[in-house]
Each structure stands twice: as structure tokens, then as C-alpha cells.
């Protein structure tokens, strides 16, 4: 990738200015649109033996979204990272195809389960891209967000606490239901807003947190009064775990805080301290909360039967992955519907990838996520202001943790949690929030890579006249 050659330019701004790389982005976008279109045709051929009727509309729709996004980036963020938009488009496009492909299975597309979900997801994706464009147009400079540090904190707290007052769905209280509109997963938005809060807060406090400490056994221990914030966040994430029964969100927020704290203070002691706290919290909660225990049991014995003698979702997911083997069964030819319900379209969408695209396809998807994370972290490295650095590492870190927690849970690496795979999985909140996340990262990278404005011509030279006697 030519962008690696470019890295030298992103950190030091030469007088020549960095190339904008918009044409690279355009070329990559063509692939990002064509690959899902081929996948779409592939499903049609496999299931019905014909090219699906909607292929033109789908190509047009996805192409139009990608095209508009590209033109707007060209205009409003010309120096933004060229990889993030194509990767996000590709993942979103593939997600749409996978959901449409699962819509073709009558057993999991009954009215009781909400019917076909691809049209809705397409609408959410459009809204997501619209929000993406909105952020690019109206957020001229990411440093503006710094002004809203404490407002962000309040909003994030509300978003995190709100689901406790709504009924649990699928065993987790991470939804808020608005009658007539549908349900939202506020955690997805909270992850962006809380990153803004952490970035703003740590920007101000980092010196105090970093320097006022005592050295003990090779570690710099923070002062008691500086422990306050981390303990509050820790308590909050434990409460999420206990009351919303959501291990994923809890892990995400605490992990995000520890990462940002570490980057802000450059003190390893915070990481050690954070890990100790989270381990203590996790063990305590796992010992007392039954729903966490059952998740852990499922994780340790994924293939054991449910109490009623049926095959569990976890086992079905494992069978689905196993069925894929190295090359997969081909799109439209797997049996991931056996997982049942809407789970194959949302939480377990990676299982369908694993079965139908095989180990090869699944690894390609994971590498795409890895690439997106890497571009986010690179943006953090390139950013010139501490707030931008912290915000970028927060967003990229949150994204990485989410991918790890979801994919790790689905494949049985860690206990399962109730989060969704960004862009790929069915779910309006997730797709909208993640498009906004990408937009903010693009804004930061645009600022970082933008050539410094040419020094204003020194007016002194004109104004100061040598008065000759």
C-alpha cells in the first residue's frame, strides 16, 4: 500500500505538503462497492440460480452512498486517511449482503422475528452515511469537541444508565425501547461520547496524574486523590455488568479508560492498577451473578446440551464455524440459520462468514477490521494536538476492543457478550454510531495531514519603513 511510503510525511509537515490521496481512496472505493455486488450476485445464483432482480438497485444504492461520501470527503476533508472510508464501505456492503442472504431463509425471517431485515439495514446505513457527512461538514475542527468535555460526561452517563429502566432483550439490558420508533442501543453512541469526555478530561489532568506519584517497588503509584476518577469508572462498569447484564459494554468502557489513561500519562503503573481492578471486579461478579456464571459455563463447555436437552446457540455457532472449514460452503449454501432467531443476522453474523466464506473469508474480514484499527491508531500518532491524539486512540481503541470482544465471544475465545460486530451485523444504532466514529477519525486525520498554512507574509516588512535621514 502506497500509504506506508507516506508516513514520513504525516508526522513532519514538509513545505511541499502531503499528497491528499483522494484518488487512492476513489480506486479503493470501486473495489469496496464491486466486491459486495459480486457477493450479492453470488448469493442469488446459489439460492435461486438467477442473478437477483435487485442487483442494479443495490449496486446503484451502494455506489451512490460511497460516491457521495467520497465527494464530500474530497471537499471537506481532503487530507483525510484514504483507507478508512473504503474499508468501512466494504464491511457495510458485505454486512448488507449477509443480512439479505439470511433473509432468504424462511425459518429465521418469520413475521414474529421481524421479517426481512436487509431493507431496514440499508436505511440505517444510509442514515449512518448521512451522519458521517454531517460530522464532516459541521465539525470543522475536532478540537471544538474539547469544549463539551463535561456535557459529554453527563450525556454518556445518561446513555449508559438509561437501559436499566427498560426490559431486557435476549438476556441483556442494553436497549432502550421507544414505542413506535423501535429500539436503540445507546451503548454504541456512548462509546464515542465517553471517548470525547476521557480525552478532554485527561488532557487537563494528565500532568497531575502522571507526575504527582510515589515510587514504590519500581512502580509509580498515584496519589489517593487522583485515584478517584478511575475508581468511579471502575464502579460504573461493574454496575453495567451487574444491572445491565452486559459483560461487553462493561469491558469496553473500562478497557477504553485504561488505554486512554496510559496514553495520557505514559505511566505503566496505571495499566497494572487498571488490570488488577478489572480482574478483581470480574472475579467477584462472576462468583455472585448467575447470568455471568451461565455465560462462563457456556464458554467452557460450548457443546454441552441445554437443560431442556436442546442444542445451545453457542454449540450451533461452533458447528457453523466448523462446517465452514478452510474454504467455506459458498455464500448462500450454509446452514447458519440453525443458530435460530435473529441471532445469525446480528450477534452471530461472523458465524455465517465463517461457514460460507470459510476460514479464508473470516480471516480476510478480521484483517479488514485490523486495518481499520491500524488506520485509527496511525491517525492518533499523526495528530498534532494532545486532545486529537487522545480522542483518536480512544475511538480506535474502543473499536478494537469491540471487535475483539464480539469476535472473541462468538468464536469461543472469551465468554459471549451482547455486542454487535461494527458495520457487519444487523442493528441500526451500531451502524449509525460507527459511521460517526469513522467521520471523527477522518476529521482528526485530515487536520493532522493537512499542510500547515503558509506563513502569512510578514507585514512588518512592509509596515516598518526605514526612515532615511
Partner 1 sequence: MNKPLRRVAIFCGLLVLALLVRVNWVQFVQAEELQSDKNNRRVAIERYSVPRGNIIVDGKAITGSTKTDSGDFEYKRTYKNGEMWAPVTGYASQAYGADKLESLYDEILTGSDDRLFFNRTIDMLTGKEQKGGQVVTTLKRDAQEAAYKGLGDKKGAVAAIDPSTGAILALASTPSYDPSSIAGMTDTDQENYQRLLKDPDKPMNNRPLRETFFPGSTFKVVTAAAALEHGLIDDIDAKTETPAPYILPNTKTELKNDGPHPTCENGSLREALRVSCNTVFGKLGADMGRDKLVETAEKFGFNDPEIDVPVRAARSNVSTEMDKPQTALSAIGQFETAATPLQMAMVTSAVANDGKLMKPYMVDQLRAPNLNVIEQTSPEEMSRPLSPENAQKLQQAMETVVEKGTGTGAQLPNATVGGKTGTAQRGVDNSEKPYAWFISYAKTDQGSPVAVAVVVEDSDASREDISGGGLAAPIAKSVMQAVIDGNK
Residues that bind partner 1 (CB under 8 A): 107, 259, 262-264, 266, 303, 305, 311, 315, 318-319, 321-326, 335, 338, 354, 358-359, 362-363, 366-367, 369-370, 373-374, 377, 380-381, 386, 389-390, 393, 396-397, 400-401, 403-404, 407-408, 411-413
Nearer to partner 1, 262 or 435 (CB): 262
CA distance 404 to 406: 6
How many residues would you count in the chain?
A: 469
Considering beta carbons, is residue 20 or 445 the nearer one to partner 1?
Answer: 445
Task: State in angstroms the smallest separation of the CB of 31 from partner 1.
Answer: 21
CB of 264 to partner 1, least distance (A): 7
Burial class (CB in 10 A: 0-12, 13-18, 19+), 35: middle
Element (H, E) at 310: none
Spatial CB neighbours of 3, under 8 Å, sequence gap ≥ 6: 21, 24, 81, 82, 83
Nearer to partner 1, 76 or 321 (CB): 321
Q: Which lies closer to partner 1 via its Cβ, residue 196 or residue 242?
A: 196
Q: Which residues contact 206 (CB under 8 A, 6 or more apart)?
A: 264, 265, 386
Residue 265: all three cell numbers together: 500519562
Shortest separation between residue 272's beta carbon and partner 1, angstroms: 13
For residue 230, give Cα distances in angstroms to 209, 225, 401: 11, 10, 18
Residue 176 CB, nearest approach to partner 1 (Å) = 29
Write down the least CB distance from residue 263 to partner 1, Å.
5
- Smallest gap from Cβ 212 to partner 1, in A, equals 18
Query: Could you tell me the three cell numbers for 370?
Result: 485490523
Burial code (b: 16+ CB inside 10 Å, e: under 16) for 64-80 equals: ebbeebbebbeebbebb
Shortest Å, Cβ 265 to partner 1 = 8
Q: What angle do CA 433, 373, 19 make, to 5 degrees?
A: 100
Task: State the minimum distance, in angstroms, from the CB of residue 396 to partner 1.
Answer: 7
Instruction: Decide whether 60 or 370 has the Cβ nearer to partner 1.
Output: 370
| Angle ∠(358,364,368) on CA atoms, nearest 5 | 145
d(CA 324, CA 354): 6
Long-range residue pairs from 308-314, CB within 8 A, at least 24 positions apart, any chain: 313/339, 313/340, 313/343, 313/348, 314/412, 314/416
CA angle 134, 137, 143 (to 5 degrees): 100
Judged by CB, which is closer to partner 1: 194, or 362? 362
Minimum gap (Å) between residue 334 Cβ and partner 1: 9
Q: What are phi and psi of 172, to 5 degrees?
A: -135, 140
Nearer to partner 1, 23 or 107 (CB): 107
Amino acid at each position: 500500500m502506497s500509504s506506508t511510503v507516506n508516513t514520513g510525511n504525516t508526522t513532519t509537515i514538509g513545505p511541499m505538503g502531503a499528497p491528499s490521496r483522494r484518488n487512492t481512496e476513489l480506486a479503493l472505493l470501486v473495489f469496496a462497492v464491486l466486491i459486495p455486488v459480486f457477493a450479492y450476485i453470488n448469493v442469488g445464483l446459489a439460492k435461486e440460480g438467477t442473478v437477483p432482480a435487485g442487483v442494479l438497485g443495490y449496486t446503484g444504492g451502494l455506489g451512490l452512498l460511497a460516491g457521495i461520501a467520497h465527494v464530500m470527503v474530497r471537499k471537506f476533508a481532503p487530507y483525510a486517511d484514504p483507507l478508512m472510508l473504503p474499508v468501512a464501505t466494504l464491511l457495510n456492503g458485505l454486512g448488507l449482503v449477509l443480512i439479505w442472504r439470511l433473509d432468504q431463509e424462511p425459518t429465521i425471517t418469520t413475521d414474529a422475528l421481524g421479517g426481512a431485515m436487509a431493507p431496514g439495514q440499508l436505511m440505517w446505513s444510509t442514515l449512518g452515511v448521512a451522519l458521517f457527512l454531517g460530522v464532516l461538514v459541521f465539525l470543522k475542527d475536532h478540537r471544538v469537541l474539547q469544549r463539551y468535555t463535561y456535557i459529554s460526561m453527563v450525556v454518556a452517563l445518561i446513555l449508559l444508565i438509561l437501559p436499566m429502566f427498560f426490559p431486557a432483550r435476549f438476556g441483556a439490558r442494553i436497549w432502550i425501547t421507544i414505542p413506535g420508533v423501535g429500539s436503540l442501543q445507546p451503548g454504541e453512541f456512548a462509546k464515542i461520547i465517553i471517548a470525547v469526555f476521557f480525552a478532554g478530561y485527561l488532557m487537563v489532568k494528565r500532568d497531575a496524574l502522571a507526575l504527582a506519584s510515589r515510587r514504590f517497588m519500581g512502580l509509580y503509584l498515584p496519589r489517593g486523590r487522583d485515584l478517584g476518577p478511575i475508581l468511579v469508572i471502575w464502579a460504573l462498569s461493574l454496575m453495567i455488568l451487574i444491572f445491565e447484564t452486559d459483560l461487553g459494554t462493561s469491558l469496553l468502557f473500562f478497557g477504553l479508560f485504561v488505554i486512554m489513561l496510559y496514553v495520557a500519562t505514559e505511566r505503566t503503573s496505571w495499566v497494572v492498577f487498571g488490570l488488577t481492578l478489572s480482574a478483581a471486579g470480574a472475579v467477584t461478579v462472576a462468583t455472585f451473578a448467575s447470568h455471568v456464571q451461565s455465560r462462563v459455563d457456556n464458554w467452557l463447555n460450548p457443546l454441552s446440551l441445554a437443560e431442556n436437552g436442546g442444542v445451545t446457540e453457542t454449540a450451533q455457532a461452533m458447528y457453523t464455524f466448523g462446517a465452514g472449514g478452510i474454504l467455506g460452503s459458498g455464500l448462500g449454501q450454509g446452514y447458519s440459520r440453525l443458530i435460530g432467531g435473529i441471532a445469525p443476522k446480528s450477534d452471530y453474523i461472523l458465524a455465517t462468514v465463517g461457514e460460507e466464506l470459510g476460514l479464508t473469508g473470516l480471516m480476510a474480514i478480521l484483517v479488514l477490521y485490523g486495518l481499520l484499527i491500524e488506520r485509527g491508531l496511525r491517525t492518533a500518532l499523526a495528530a498534532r494536538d494532545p486532545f486529537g491524539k487522545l480522542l483518536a486512540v480512544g475511538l480506535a481503541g474502543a473499536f478494537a476492543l469491540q471487535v475483539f470482544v464480539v469476535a472473541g465471544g462468538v468464536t469461543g475465545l472469551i465468554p459471549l457478550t451482547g455486542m454487535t460486530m461494527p458495520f457487519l451485523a444487523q442493528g441500526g444504532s451500531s451502524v449509525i454510531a460507527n459511521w460517526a466514529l469513522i467521520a471523527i477519525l477522518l476529521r482528526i486525520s485530515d487536520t493532522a495531514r493537512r499542510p500547515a498554512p503558509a506563513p502569512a507574509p510578514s507585514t512588518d516588512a512592509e509596515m516598518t519603513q526605514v526612515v532615511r535621514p
